Amino acid sequence: MVQWDVVSFGETMIRLAVPLGERLETATRLEVGIGGAEANVLVALARLGRRTAWASVLPRNPLGERIVRELAWHGVDTSWVQWVERGRVGVYYLDTGVPPRPTAVLYDRAGSAVAQVDPAAFPIDFVAGGRWLHLTGITPALSVGCRAVAERLMERARAAGVPVSFDVNYRSRLWGPDEAARVLEPFCAGATVLFCGEGDARTLWGLEGTALEVAERLAGRFGAGVTVLTLGEGGAVAVTREGERVTAEAPRATVIDRVGAGDAFAAGFLHGYLDGRDLERGLRTGVALAALKLTVRGDLALISAAELEAMLSETRRTIVR
């Protein structure tokens, strides 16, 4: 029986951000939040009215409780979180930049509870209750155990006939490009929808050329039903196995916080694509939600369905076939 629209597994961290205009080395206060690629996607979807479920491993302490309660407050089902009595939550520090000074990120996530997951003991059958499974390339980088859980989830989804989206999401602080390219290859090959940033395609697989050329080479390499290449401020381009090609320009946005914009794009695409498999609507919704996320501080796209629909009405002419 289908219980959720989208399900996922991954790590959510505590985010400690320096207030705008201050520096991490001298700040006397930090803004507390949460963030994690998979959870960011699920929160955005839940706020748009989708049923979502997040699975992970968390220590039973105030930080673990904070993560679960905040996700649940936004409407994400956290009943598949596996609790452990000992362990730690990953933390990341954001030294918020203002142009021309870039934002810097400092991670303290090694050895987190989810990285210590026992793949054989982690439940995966919840996947069969979802219409869609979403995974990212961050999770397999965390540990051998996380990689094994992600592999099992993809296998279970395939057996249950559940489509899978996979966002490459390469993180150079977690592993090198050669290892990442090798490990992520089967995940990309198993995806129904593959998301990849233009920079990741170049770094991991040496793909160069126009956006459309890179997207087509990714599609040829991995064979996903839909391949979506994200271009940041340049928007996104998507190609299908049947030869359909669609490009969406990114709407203009006042940037408050770039963190989580890629996850908002993935959430927007899935929201627009899930019901009718409409590639154009998926791309339009993706770039619109990403633009709206840029205006919100924090990892989470705290955007309502009404705000998104209003934005979509302004971006109907940004599609090129």
Residues labelled as active-site residues: 263
**CA angle (267 as vertex; 100, 235 as ends), nearest 5:** 45
Task: Kindly list the distances between the CA atom of residue 119 and the CA atoms of 114, 168, 228, 242, in Å, as whole numbers in the listed order.
Answer: 10, 21, 30, 36
Residue 127 · residue 156 · CB < 8 Å: yes
Q: How far is CA 178 from the centre of its chain?
A: 22
**CA angle (139 as vertex; 114, 193 as ends), nearest 5:** 140
Task: Determine the Cα–Cα distance for residues 163 and 156; give it in Å rounded to an integer.
Answer: 11
Task: Determine the Cα–Cα distance for residues 231 and 236; give it in Å rounded to an integer.
Answer: 5
Distance spanning both ends of the chain, measured CA to CA: 37
Q: How far is CA 92 from the centre of its chain?
A: 16
Task: Determine phi and psi for 92, rounding to 5 degrees.
Answer: -135, 145
Task: Determine the Cα–Cα distance for residues 127 and 106; give it in Å rounded to an integer.
Answer: 32
Task: Determine the Cα–Cα distance for residues 232 and 262; give it in Å rounded to an integer.
Answer: 8
Using DSSP, state whether 125 is helix, strand or coil: helix
Task: Determine the Cα–Cα distance for residues 271 and 306; give it in Å rounded to an integer.
Answer: 14
